[in-house]
A and B are shown apart, each in its own frame.
Chain A
Amino acid sequence: MNIADIMPFSVLVPLIAAPVCALLPGRRLPWLLCQVSALASLVIAALTLPAALEGTLSYAFGNWDPPIGIEYRVDAANALVALLLTAMATLILPWGRLTVDQEVPERQGTFYALFLLVLAGLLGITLTGDAFNVFVFLEISSLATYGLIAHGRDRRALLAAFRYLVMGTVGATFFLIGVGFLYIMTGTLNMADLAERLPAVADTRTVRVALAFIVVGMALKLAMFPLHLWLPNAYTYAPTFVTAFLAATATKVALYVMLRFIFTVFAPDYSFVALPLATVFLLLALAGMFAGSWVAMFEQNLKRMLAYSSVAQVGYMVLGVSLVSVLGLTASLLHLFNHALMKAALFMALGAVIYRTGGVQLANLRGLGREMPWTFAAFALAGLSLIGIPPTAGFISKWTLISAALEAGQGWLVALIVITSMMAVIYIARVVETVWFQPRPEGAAAVREAPLQLLIPVWVMVAANFYFGIDTRLTLGTATAAAEALMGGTVSGGLQ
């Protein structure tokens, strides 16, 4: 059997499992089904990646040949994102069972069903080669995400979910307007076909407007500064399990869609000339890096601190795109992967703290490092990866980004990248100082170390941060291949 033939099942398995999951009673069974289908998707994605590195895979639904029918089209870029998605789901689920039991005690069947829908939706966005299909899967995953966020126990979770719904729907509708314009101009929705037909009509205002709508719509979804306002509250008040998964995946998929349209559908020679995207991305990336890190430095709620840090990290990815070179794009894709590893590890460690103490206000965590040494050691090590200290995954992506900036002749960016990394040192060090070096308040109840069921997955994730900081064959190799595929094999040396 051909790999291309089993590829769509990585989307279909969670999609079909979701309604079944909603009907399952109790707590154990829905989780088990979730875990099994995530694992099945992971196996398929892992099989797809090596095949996709050798050549683009294509699957035509219902034997209707593209561009008439809907096509799943996978090259190195989507294969990498699909592997990331499924790996994150598979690793976060065993950790999530205890925290979900605590934070979402009732009706876990529907909760896990929503999770499967998010996974299926994100995978669908990643694998499909059809522009309208992207919109449909985008809405499937978004609607399920709103539901998951609203499961938070704090009543502010409802407000966060509602505000995310309003902004998310506006973003998705903007994307739909862009796709509509493209369809009106070319009469096709298949991305590969669009890329062929667009040059004939490229010099029209409609196509430029379509590009603008798609970029803005996706910028909303990926929380690019200053369109990030939905993110901090959504991450803070969602159940920790949801936060860990979303922080690792949702914004990354939106970034992938943006790259797919800018580079494959419109081609970089067009996108960066028709609109001043390079300048806009550069400025917004820098603003996001500084604003996100700045707020994170003073934030008292650790979940919200990490959420603002995500805004800053999205800035690094967008910065890589703004350099318009293979190396810059490699840095973006690499950081897309590595940031998922470090943020998942950090949020998972926080989840263990919440499991034992019920909250993550910094003032309440004084001296807790001595009572939960393993949890906070994991937090500190994942923090090193976030800062970018060798030999962690974060170092590799920052190193690549700095090389890309130097290659593009933008040496001054190096200083700014280092300064924002220093800001990350401050907000991680603040936590380390509070939990390890401050005395426990008098009369505070004793807190036990988090159970092994939480600790083992956290440490697996921390180990992954170090593994991918030492052995970069999978990440750097795939990211380079993906960047070359996106740039269409042409190397234009940065900004003209």
Chain B
Amino acid sequence: MTTFLSFFNYWAVVVLMMIGYYCVIVRGNMVKKIIGLGIFQTSVFIMFISAGKIIGGSTPVLRDGVELYSNPLPHVLILTAIVVGVATTAVGLALAVRIQEAYGTIEDDELSSEEEEDARGE
């Protein structure tokens, strides 16, 4: 039980990761897929950030009387990864808008049947 609790951050990561991944695979709606991707990526961000936290550690700014600092590097890395995630979401949503304009739907199964029709017209 104590092992379970002491790793609770990783359990949160695992749960979030599975939720996100499930959304990406199972959901047929493209916007929901993008939401799933977002949750999936966020779980990885949490993994990085929680690894940089040191219990009792202070913010990584030089001050008098502080000996123990948390590791700032994972935070910086994740700042970059968040920007990447935002860009991915933006591109994905932009594509979803264009797909809605071109096909009139963003549901995967309806798109597949439209796709077959396109293939027959070739």
Contacts and interface: CB of A to CB of B under 8 A. Distances in A.
Contacts, number: 72
A158 interface: yes
B58 to A, nearest CB: 19
Given A132-B77, A180-B51, A158 B102 contact: yes
Contact of A165 (B47, B74, B95, B115): B95
A173 B44 contact: yes
Given A166-B37, A183-B74, A301-B122, A177 B44 contact: yes
A325 to B, nearest CB: 35
Contact of B95 (A135, A162, A180, A184): A162
A265 B2 CA distance: 34
Given A176-B44, A180-B44, A183-B74, A162 B30 contact: yes
Given A136-B84, A139-B88, A166 B33 contact: yes
Given A143-B88, A183-B74, A173 B41 contact: yes
A158 B95 contact: yes
Contacts of A156: 115, 118
A491 interface: no
A150 interface: yes
A180 B10 CA distance: 12
Interface in B57-115: 74, 77, 80-81, 84, 87-88, 91-92, 95-96, 98-99, 102-103, 111, 115
A299 B81 CA distance: 40
Contacts of A180: 44, 47-48, 51
Given A155-B103, A166-B24, A169-B88, A161 B44 contact: no
B88 A177 contact: no
Kindly state the interface size class of chain B when it binds its partner: 20 to 34
Interface string A140-154: 000100110010001
A64 to B, nearest CB: 13
A491 to B, nearest CB: 37
Contact of A143 (B74, B91, B102): B91
B92 A162 contact: yes
A216 interface: no
A135 B99 contact: no
A51 interface: no
Contacts of B33: 166
Interface residues of A, number: 29
Interface in A193-247: none
A155 B102 contact: yes
A176 B81 contact: yes
Interface in A161-191: 161-162, 165-166, 169-170, 173, 176-177, 180, 183-184, 189
B47 A159 contact: no
A102 interface: no
Contact of A139 (B77, B87, B122): B87
Instruction: Determine which residue in A161, A173, A189, A361 has the highest number of CB atoms from chain B within 10 A of its CB, and name it.
Output: A173
Interface string A110-147: 00000000000000000000001001100100010011
B95 A146 contact: yes
Contacts of A361: 122
A143 B115 CA distance: 24
Contacts of A135: 81, 84
Contacts of B30: 162
A143 B87 contact: yes
Contacts of B98: 150, 158
Contact of B37 (A146, A161, A169, A359): A169
Given A155-B103, A177-B47, A170 B40 contact: yes
Contacts of A183: 48, 51, 74
Contact of A147 (B84, B91, B118): B91
A415 to B, nearest CB: 36
A148 to B, nearest CB: 11
Contacts of A158: 95, 98-99, 102
Nearest to B21: A170
Contact of A162 (B40, B48, B80, B96): B96
A165 B88 contact: yes
A143 B102 CA distance: 21
27 contacts: A132-B77, A132-B80, A135-B81, A135-B84, A139-B87, A143-B87, A146-B91, A147-B91, A150-B98, A155-B118, A156-B115, A156-B118, A158-B95, A158-B102, A159-B99, A161-B95, A162-B95, A166-B33, A166-B92, A169-B37, A170-B21, A170-B24, A173-B44, A180-B48, A184-B51, A301-B122, A359-B122
Interface of B: 21, 24, 30, 33, 37, 40-41, 44, 47-48, 51, 74, 77, 80-81, 84, 87-88, 91-92, 95-96, 98-99, 102-103, 111, 115, 118, 122
Given A180-B44, A183-B51, A359-B122, 16 more contacts: A132-B77, A136-B84, A139-B84, A143-B87, A146-B95, A147-B91, A154-B118, A156-B115, A156-B118, A158-B95, A159-B115, A165-B91, A170-B21, A176-B81, A180-B48, A183-B74
Q: Which 7 A-B pairs have the closest CB atoms?
A: A155-B102, A139-B84, A162-B95, A184-B51, A158-B99, A158-B98, A180-B48
